[in-house]
């Protein structure tokens, strides 16, 4: 029985993290598209990793209970990487809240019950959650602590009718949920943190940079302190640190990795975006 790493979302960022933490372990790759999971597993198999592809829908609790059972049958789960989700341009409000907000919360809850001693996890959130103004204390408390099965019943979530707002609330919830779950994971000797990337070059981001909205993206990049987009490997390096022995004193935290984009959004050259966001 090997130690098990569970990757949810077979995209560029998730794979970059998995490559850094999965050597010598069994890697379970779960994705909404089984074909994507199989392709990622084959690529990593050819690079020396031992992989098991699984079809799983982040928006379905039953699907993820099945994933937990499959992963624990292979060994002790010591790492969780959640890099799955849908964006404001990919899905309606209901689906975004179902997947990004509710689904991630279920994932944290269920894997928090089985994570091994000394284990660790990272949740990929987004800089978008940092563009949401400060919420009332009652909303913060509700997003952090409401039982997962009741989350989507929160009145203020039912009032959201804009996909970007749904995404921002979901990503803010991810960060708050990680803080809440860190106390539970800690009882099992495990850590859990979130990472909020900015513009990272993935196939989807590359499409945007060469598509009809490219001028907006290029202007945003030019207004960032870093003046460039990031790479999945840079996110992978940060996640590797958090999940290693060097990161054992870090839990319940969120890390912006956005080239200073959020700083510029609030106080620099990108303040013009506030009127559109």
At 188, phi and psi to the nearest 5? -100, 10
Which is the catalytic residue, given 32, 165, 171, 180?
Answer: 171
**Whether residue 272 lies in the annotated active site:** no
Q: Can you tell me the distance from the alpha carbon of 76 to that of 187, in angstroms, rounded to the nearest whole number?
A: 16
Q: What is the dihedral of CA 234, 86, 151, 253, to 10 degrees?
A: 10
**Whether residue 38 lies in the annotated active site:** no
- Partner residues linked to 30 by β-bridges: 8, 54
The DSSP symbol for 130 reads: G
SS3 state of residue 214: helix
Which is the catalytic residue, given 167, 169, 180, 265?
Answer: 167
Token couple for 266:
């609030």
Token couple for 207:
């499409």
Q: List the end-to-end C-alpha distance of the chain, in Å, as a whole number.
A: 48
At 125, phi and psi to the nearest 5? -100, -135
Half-sphere exposure at residue 33, Cβ-oriented, CA atoms within 13 angstroms = 7
Q: Can you tell me the distance from the alpha carbon of 21 to that of 23, in angstroms, rounded to the nearest whole number?
A: 6
Q: Can you tell me the distance from the alpha carbon of 124 to that of 34, in angstroms, rounded to the nearest whole number?
A: 21
Q: How many residues belong to the chain?
A: 277
Q: Can you tell me the distance from the alpha carbon of 168 to that of 97, in angstroms, rounded to the nearest whole number?
A: 10
- Catalytic residue numbers read 167, 171
């Amino acid at each position: 029985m090997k130690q098990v790493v569970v990757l949810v979302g077979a995209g560029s960022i998730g794979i970059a993290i998995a490559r850094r933490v999965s050597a010598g372990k069994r890697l379970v790759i779960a994705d909404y598209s089984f074909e994507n999971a199989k392709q990622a597993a084959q690529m990593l198999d050819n690079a020396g990793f031992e992989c098991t592809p699984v079809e799983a829908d982040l928006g379905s609790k039953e699907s993820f209970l099945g994933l937990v059972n499959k992963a624990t049958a292979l060994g002790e789960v010591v790492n969780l990487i959640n890099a799955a989700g849908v964006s404001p341009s990919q899905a309606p409000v209901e689906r975004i809240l179902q997947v990004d907000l509710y689904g991630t919360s279920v994932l944290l809850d269920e894997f928090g019950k089985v994570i091994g001693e000394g284990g660790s996890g990272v949740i990929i959130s987004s800089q978008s959650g940092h563009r949401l103004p400060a919420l009332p204390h009652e909303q913060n408390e509700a997003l952090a602590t409401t039982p997962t099965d009741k989350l989507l019943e929160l009145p203020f979530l039912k009032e959201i009718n804009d996909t970007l707002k749904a995404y921002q609330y979901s990503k803010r919830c991810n960060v708050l949920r990680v803080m809440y779950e860190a106390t539970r994971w800690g009882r099992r000797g495990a850590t859990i943190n979130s990472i909020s990337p900015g513009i990272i070059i993935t196939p989807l981001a590359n499409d945007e940079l060469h598509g009809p909205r490219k001028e907006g993206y290029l202007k945003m990049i030019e207004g960032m302190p870093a003046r460039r987009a990031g790479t999945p490997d840079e996110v992978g390096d940060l996640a590797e640190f958090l999940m290693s022995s060097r990161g054992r004193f870090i839990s319940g935290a969120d890390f912006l990795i956005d080239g200073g984009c959020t700083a510029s959004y609030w106080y620099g050259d990108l303040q013009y975006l506030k009127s559109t966001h």
